[in-house]
Chains A and B, each alone.
Chain A
Amino acid sequence: MSLTVNDVWYTYQEGTPNESNALQGINLTINKGEFLGIVGHTGSGKSTLIQHLNGLLKPSKGQVLVDGLELHSKENKKSLREIRMKVGIVFQYPEYQLFEETVEKDIAFGPKNLGLEEKEIKQRVKKAMKLMNLDYQALKDVSPFDLSGGQKRKVAIAGVLAMEPEYLILDEPAAGLDPKGREEFLELINHLHKEGLTVIMVSHSMDDIARYAQRMVVLHQGKLVLEGKPQEVFTHVEELESMGLSVPTLTKLLHALKAKGLPVNTELIEIQQIKAEILRALQERKGEAHA
C-alpha cells in the first residue's frame, strides 16, 4: 500500500509563450505509515507535486498511483473522487477555505460530500475536533470567523481529517503561526502520525523536518535531487546551500564545532543525542589535555 509517482511531468500554460516545466520526471514512493518531508526553494515544484498526489492536477506525462489505482486513468474515471478521499490535502493558510456559519457545519462539509449519514457525520466531526484539540461543546455553534487565527487553522484541518483520509498532505502547516502555536501544531500533527496516519509535510523549516520527518526529499527546479533520512540528506550541506536551502540549526552547530576542531559526529539530528555527543567530545578533549 503506497502512493506512487511514476515519471511525472507537468507543464503550466502548455502551448503559450509563458509555458514552464514545473515538474520534470519525478519518481517517488510514499509508504503507508511514514512521515515524509518535502523541501525545496520557492518555485521548485513542491506545491505542483502535492497537487498531483490527490488528482487535483493531471500530469502532462507519467502517472500517479494511489494504493495501486491510477489517478486519471481512462478505465476508472469515476473513481477519481473516491481515490481523492483517501488522500487528504491541507493547503497553505487553510483557514481561507472556511465558509459555513458554524464550526460544526464547516467540518461536516467534507463528510457530507462523502454521502455519509447524519449520525456518522456528527461522530466524525467530534472525533476530528478532538484530534485537533478543539472543544466540541464550546465551539460547535460558534462562527468560524470569530475564532483566532490558530483556531481557524485547526478547524480547517479538522475539516480534512473528518473525511478520515489515509494519507494527509500538509503544505506549510505552521506558516504564519506564533512560536507557541507552531510548537503545539506540529506536535498535533506528529500525534496524528503516531496514530497511524501517513503524513506528507511540505516545509521551509529544516528544523521542523529534522525533528519530525522519517524520510525527506529535496526538490530543485522541478527535479527530485536528494532523498533519504534527514540525517543523511543534511550531510549535503554545500549542495543544499547552493540550492538556496539550509540545514537545521543544530546541524549547523555541529559543523561549526567540527570546523573549530572539536571531533563531533555531524550526522546526528536529535537534540538529546547532539547534547550527549558534544558533552562526550568536550570530555574527551579535557581528558587529552590532562594526560
Chain B
Amino acid sequence: MLKDITIGQYLVGNSFLHKLDPRTKIIGVLLYMIALFTVNNFIGMGAMIVVSAFFVLLSQIPLNYFLKGLKPIVLIVMLTVVLQIFMTPGEVLWQWGFLKITDMGLRQAGFMGTRLVLLVSITSILTLTTTPIALTDGIESLLKPFQKIGVPAHELAMMMTIALRFIPTLIEETEKIMQAQAARGADFESGNLMERGKAMIPLLVPLFLSAFKRADELAIAMEARCYHGGENRTRLKPLQYTAKDRVALLALLLMLALAWATRMV
C-alpha cells in the first residue's frame, strides 16, 4: 500500500542526529556526497560504508525500519548494476554473443551500486531525523546569502514546506478515493497498460479537483492571516548553532579530508 513508503518520512526520536541543527545536517549530507564520489578505490569505499553504518547507529532508527525504506530502490540499483557490468569497456573476462563482462565493468558496477545505496541511505537518515519544517527552515537559511543575486529563498522554502506538508494528505486522499471507486467495482490492479491507464481516470479527476480546492483554500487562509512573503517575518523557534553542531561539522570535514587521502593510497 501507499502507506508503506518511508522515503521522506520523519521518525520521532531523541538521538544526537535528531538534535543537530538542520543546516549542519544538510551541509553534512552534501559533504558526505562529495566524499562518496571522491573515493575511487576499495579502501575508500569500505570506509564510506563504515561511516554510513555509524550514522545509522547514531540516528537510533530501528534497523529493519531503515532497511524497509531502501526496498523501493532495489530495482533501480539492479538496473544500474546490470548496465554497468555489460556496458563498460575494458579487458574482457567473459563473453556470450554481444554480452561481455569486463574487469572495469565489474568494478564500476560494484562502485555505482554501492554509491546509490549509500546515497539513498544518507538522505533517508536526513529526512528520518529532521522534521520537514526544520528541513525547509535549514534550506531557507542556507539560501539566504544567494538572495542578493535574485534567488527567492523564502518563497522556495515556503513552496517546499507546503509541498511536503501535503504529501501525506494527498496520499490519504488517494487511498480514500481508490477505496470509494473500488467499492463501485473499479479495478486498479489488472489489465494491460492501456486499461490500467484508463482505470486511473476515476481516481485522478477527483484527486486533482480536491487538490485544486485545497490549494485555493490554503491561499485564502494564508491571506486571511496576512501572509505576505518573507520580509520582516520572525520565527517561533529560530535556528541555533550549538557546540554539538561545530563538533559535527568538524568531524564531517575531517571525513572529507580522509576520503581525499584514500585516493593517494
Residues in chain A within 8 A of chain B (CB atoms): 12-13, 15-17, 51, 54, 56, 81, 84-85, 88-89, 91, 94, 96-99, 109-110, 113-114, 145, 159-160, 163
Contacts and interface: CB of A to CB of B under 8 A. Distances in A.
B186 A113 contact: yes
A56 B185 contact: no
B139 to A, nearest CB: 26
Interface stretch (B36-44, B173-181, B236-244): B173-181
B206 interface: yes
Interface of B: 3, 11, 62, 64-65, 68, 176-177, 179-187, 201-202, 205-206, 209-210
Contacts of A54: 183
Main secondary structure of the interface of B (DSSP, over half): helix
B185 A97 contact: no
B210 A56 contact: no
A88 B181 CA distance: 11
Contacts of A113: 184-187
A72 B202 CA distance: 25
A160 B183 contact: yes
Given A84-B182, A99-B202, A109-B202, 6 more contacts: A17-B65, A51-B179, A96-B206, A97-B177, A113-B187, A160-B183
B185 A99 contact: no
A114 B183 CA distance: 11
A12 B181 CA distance: 21
Contacts of A145: 209
B101 to A, nearest CB: 38
A56 B182 contact: yes
14 contacts: A16-B65, A16-B68, A56-B182, A84-B183, A91-B179, A94-B180, A96-B206, A97-B181, A97-B202, A99-B202, A99-B205, A109-B181, A159-B184, A163-B185
